[in-house]
Amino acid sequence: MIALCLALGLVQARLPLTEFTLAWTHSVEKVRWEEDYRVTAAGLELTAARVQGSGAGMEPPAGAELRTGWWHYRPALPPLPALRLTLSSYSAGYQLCAAGGCRALADLLGGEGVVELTPCARE
């Protein structure tokens, strides 16, 4: 079964997820950003994204649609083998959302530094 693996230094977690949303608040503009991913053997597929505003390098791409205060768009990227994010007490941090709830990545892994999200190797 495919799953999502998280690693922060020596701390590792395996989550039985095939889809998740990565969410955060932009550190300058203070607006929420969300990206939807599918976990596959080929990598992490970014299937949709949305942002609650624009400015400071957050301009919605061509073709984005404004719906209920959010710019929605579908990025055209190949599957990513890994996603690396920096967890820091100087910013609001990332949330991992799945099954109707969200949890701070820092709480899941208990620390700061660079966290790597990857599809787990099949067991």
Q: For residues 26 and 35, what is the distance between their CA atoms, to the nearest angstrom? A: 13
Q: How far is CA 32 from the centre of its chain?
A: 12
- For residue 78, the model assigns a pLDDT of 96
| Cα angle 45-85-80, degrees, rounded to a multiple of 5 | 25
- For residue 115, the model assigns a pLDDT of 93
- For residue 88, the model assigns a pLDDT of 83
- For residue 74, the model assigns a pLDDT of 92
Please tell me the pTM assigned to this model: 0.90
Mean pLDDT for back-to-back runs of 10 residues, the chain (123 residues): 90 93 81 93 95 75 89 93 89 88 89 92 66
Which residues in 67-104 are b (16+ Cβ under 10 Å) and which e?
A: eeebbbbeeeeeebeebebebeeeeebbbbebeeeeee
